[in-house]
Chain A
Amino acid sequence: MTVAVSANGTIELTGACPVEDAEALLQCLLTTPAGAVDWSACESAHTAVIQVLLVAKAAPVGAPVSGFLRDIVAPLLQRRS
């Protein structure tokens, strides 16, 4: 499981998030609309996962390991949120 909700209600993305995680992430965001997303442990994310973040206007917290997520996708999500 790479999408999990922590005790304090934060949605955490860890490791490599495959396409299936999009569904899980979408459910999490639907149930906790105000929930923050933490992707500091995320190594990679499928387009479908990023697409869910874009639609949800979520700006994840933390600096992920992946340079692409950190330097390219993070500003994209920032602009959207």
Chain B
Amino acid sequence: MNEFIEQFILESRDLVEQATAALSILEKSPQDPEALDAVLRAFHTLKGGAGIVDFAAMERAVHAAEDALSHSRAADHAVTARVINDCLACLDQVVRWLDLMEQSGEVVADADAQADALIARLVHSVTNDRPLAPAIEKNASASWSNELLKRNPGMRQQAKTAVRFIPPADSFFRGEDPMALIAALPGLLMLEAEPVGEEWPTLDALDPFESILVLTALTGSTGPAVRAHLEGHAGECEVVALAAAGPQGSEQALTPTSRDVLKAQLVFLDSVESRTFIGRVASAGRVASNVLRYCGLGAQADLIAHATRQSLDDNSPRALREQIARALEAQAPLSAAPTSQAPSRPEALARTLRVDAERVDALIRLTGELTVVRNAIGHAVKLAQADTSSLAGTLKKHYGALDNITSELQSAVLGMRVLPLRTVLQRFPRMVREISADLAKPAKLLIEGDETEADKAIVEMLFEPLLHIVRNAMDHGIEDAAVRARKNKPAIATLRMRASRQGDRVLIEVDDDGNGVDIARVRQVALEGGIATVESLDAMSEAEIVDLVFAPGFSTAASVTELSGRGVGMDAVRTAVGRVGGRVSMESRYGQGTTVRFTLPFSVMMSHVMTVEAGGQMFGIPLDAVVESIRVPIESIACIGAAQAIVHRNHTLPVFELARVLRVREEARDQEDAAMIIATFGGQLGGIRVDRIGEPMEVMLRPLDGLLSGIPGLAGTTILGDGRVLLVLDLDGVIQ
């Protein structure tokens, strides 16, 4: 990848983060001048960067956002929620572009349509409070330009850009001459003028000093040139890049699958009956326009949308049928070569890391100290050659120093992989707002402890699981407004995300003040889904029943909603969290709310393990699963059928023989006592019988790769001091 682009992506991601953070402050206090300055600065720098790498579409989009914000500042009124939303949407788009650039290593070539849609949206937000225009339709940048081309078919070959310019009514007073601006457009081909209102006024009703014109023009110049010319009128102009006509446009052709989908809509429309007419036409229209939009044929999609409306008005599917047929004709199929599936985005973590300079300095200092110790050991070697009497003492001293520095070095290196949780948590206020709007359940989100740090890998994997929990809380946990009112709960529900560091673990709690988990319902669903039997349910505590929501295939949602439910979620959350060595549990207070607790390792690299021996081999058990290690007399282990159990601290615990479970050779034992680790696995306590219990140790866990990666029950490996490989077990996997 080009070095400039690499740098650009890095910096832009940072800026997007800064802008998002500042926008969320603005959201709470729209008058905050510092937050507004921070957003403007971030957008401005983003724009500059886009200019440097020649990414015109992004430059324009970001410029429009900057304009919208400056407009608020100039007009000296609070930034509206709408502008904030549009700016956030702009940042989202920027992130999508950056992702694409990261994959391809190049500037996104076909981003103009997306930029135009954003600009139209931003322009609309700004002009919203002064309705000059006959409402610039949402997302309709293309429909007027299509009409314009249709009226002027002769221009189709030359025209590259369409411009719509709606001068403010008072522009003549302000000394502006809109047509002079149009006249100077590069490559101007033609101009049309329409009145702002429905009809032209009569001559005697005309105020000659008020502009009533909507000017539309076609030019033979490219979008960037035209936009550059119209700079300063961003709020009044729309510029649309026109798709090249004829065969040049074939890179935007329909894929074979899209063609099939469109053809299927034609068949679907053939069997329309009056009873199903509205539904069928609307749905076929929506599918067809989505397909076209997906293929980058926004203009065609707009035509389909138009035809759908007409069909609905005419009460006949004809208009829509014809338009779909035209779209199929207009877009020749791609050559037989398979439309190479864009390489699916690897879930691999980003390859670059921005590191605080202080952390690098610490590392440099440590390498210096390490050199000193190396030299000291070199000295000890010389001493050893001469005389051995003082060697042991000297070596011991240097070993101590080396040990200290290695640990420090290790934590400094790990520190470089650390990110504050803010990077993921700050995305949620907006998610909650959107979900809240979708579900019409007013809710606010409080975030605490977002400065808590964790390994980059942990922080980055958290988004999906957290999002799932938040959706579940909003969808199933939090009650409808009416129910909340009946229960005397505040109308606005509260979601809380709390992060904190607990030793070498990171704790994240998500709680809501909704209805909690409906135990009876969980029981019923677990029974129906065959997840548990009546007997096992009867033996379960409430907490254990709540835990069933993490069972694969579990869903209590009465209706499967778009947002959450289908039962593929909570077990996926547990799996994802488990993969990085974390745990997730749920606590419910019926009628009062639910808390979901994530316990995650601070670092995926370092872990504390307890070593044990079974079948003559050494294994590591993650220390955070270990509750205690005990020795019990053999006779206290009761055999119940094929299973074993012990009574420990008044609880009956199942006992597993590690050697047997792992199918390693069992050693004949003639001890009177059994060594046992009491640990939590699968959400329960249990005993693991081993031959010998070793020591707890801190190890650098190597993730499993290659053939090992598929083995369940194995969390990773590490090398012991004597060179042996230690297999570190994942107890949940082992016992299952």
- Among the 9-residue stretches B205-213, B250-258, B265-273, the one with 4 or more Cβ atoms under 8 Å from chain A is B205-213
Q: Which residue of A lies closest to B178 (CB)?
A: A47
Given the complex of chains A and B, what is the CA–CA distance between A49 and B665 in angstroms? 100
B703 within 8 A of A: no
Which B554-604 residues have C-beta < 8 A from chain A? none
Bits for B174-196, please: 1 = Cβ < 8 Å to A, else 0. 00011110010000101111000
A26 within 8 A of B: yes
Given the complex of chains A and B, what is the CA–CA distance between A76 and B177 in angstroms? 17
Instruction: Establish whether residues B179 and A22, one from each chain, have CB atoms under 8 Å apart when the complex forms.
Output: no
Given the complex of chains A and B, what is the CA–CA distance between A37 and B192 in angstroms? 20
Size range of the chain A interface in the assembly: 20 to 34
Instruction: Establish whether residues B208 and A51, one from each chain, have CB atoms under 8 Å apart when the complex forms.
Output: yes
Instruction: Establish whether residues A47 and B179, one from each chain, have CB atoms under 8 Å apart when the complex forms.
Output: yes
Given the complex of chains A and B, what is the CA–CA distance between A26 and B204 in angstroms? 8
Residue of B178, B183, B201, B211 near A68 (CB, 8 A) is B183
- Given A52-B206, A54-B193, A75-B190, is A47 in contact with B201 using a C-beta cutoff of 8 Å? no
Bits for A3-31, please: 1 = Cβ < 8 Å to B, else 0. 00000000000000001001101100110
Instruction: Establish whether residues B192 and A55, one from each chain, have CB atoms under 8 Å apart when the complex forms.
Output: no
Bits for B192-226, please: 1 = Cβ < 8 Å to A, else 0. 11000000111110101101110000000000000
List, in ascending order, chain A residues with CB within 8 A of B204's CB: 30
Instruction: Establish whether residues B209 and A56, one from each chain, have CB atoms under 8 Å apart when the complex forms.
Output: no
List, in ascending order, chain B residues with CB within 8 A of A76's CB: 191-193
Instruction: Establish whether residues B172 and A47, one from each chain, have CB atoms under 8 Å apart when the complex forms.
Output: yes
- Given A76-B191, A76-B192, is A19 in contact with B201 using a C-beta cutoff of 8 Å? no
List, in ascending order, chain B residues with CB within 8 A of A26's CB: 203, 206, 208
Instruction: Establish whether residues B212 and A51, one from each chain, have CB atoms under 8 Å apart when the complex forms.
Output: yes
Q: Which residue of A lies closest to B208 (CB)?
A: A22
A41 within 8 A of B: no
Size range of the chain B interface in the assembly: 20 to 34
List, in ascending order, chain B residues with CB within 8 A of A55's CB: 200-203, 206
List, in ascending order, chain B residues with CB within 8 A of A54's CB: 193, 200, 213
A63 within 8 A of B: no
List, in ascending order, chain B residues with CB within 8 A of A56's CB: 203
Given the complex of chains A and B, what is the CA–CA distance between A47 and B178 in angstroms? 6
Given the complex of chains A and B, what is the CA–CA distance between A35 and B152 in angstroms? 31
A48 within 8 A of B: yes
Given the complex of chains A and B, what is the CA–CA distance between A25 and B180 in angstroms? 19
List, in ascending order, chain B residues with CB within 8 A of A73's CB: 179, 191
Instruction: Establish whether residues B177 and A19, one from each chain, have CB atoms under 8 Å apart when the complex forms.
Output: yes
Residue of B167, B191, B200, B201 near A72 (CB, 8 A) is B191
A50 within 8 A of B: yes
List, in ascending order, chain A residues with CB within 8 A of B209's CB: 19, 22-23, 48
Given the complex of chains A and B, what is the CA–CA distance between A73 and B193 in angstroms? 10
Given the complex of chains A and B, what is the CA–CA distance between A47 and B183 in angstroms? 11
Of the A-B pairs whose beta carbons lie under 8 Å apart in the complex, a sample of 23, sorted by A's number, is A19-B172, A19-B177, A19-B209, A22-B172, A23-B208, A23-B209, A26-B203, A33-B203, A45-B179, A47-B172, A47-B213, A48-B172, A48-B208, A48-B211, A50-B179, A51-B208, A51-B213, A55-B200, A55-B202, A55-B206, A68-B188, A72-B188, A73-B179
Binding site for A on B (CB under 8 A): 167, 172, 177-180, 183, 188, 190-193, 200-204, 206, 208-209, 211-213
Q: A19-B172, A19-B209, A51-B193 are in contact. List 19 more A-B contacts (CB 8 A).
A: A22-B209, A26-B203, A26-B206, A47-B167, A47-B172, A47-B177, A47-B179, A48-B211, A51-B208, A51-B212, A54-B193, A55-B201, A55-B202, A55-B203, A55-B206, A56-B203, A68-B179, A68-B188, A80-B193
- 9 cross-chain pairs, A with B, having the tightest CB-CB distances, nearest first: A22-B208, A68-B183, A47-B179, A26-B208, A47-B178, A72-B191, A55-B206, A48-B172, A23-B208
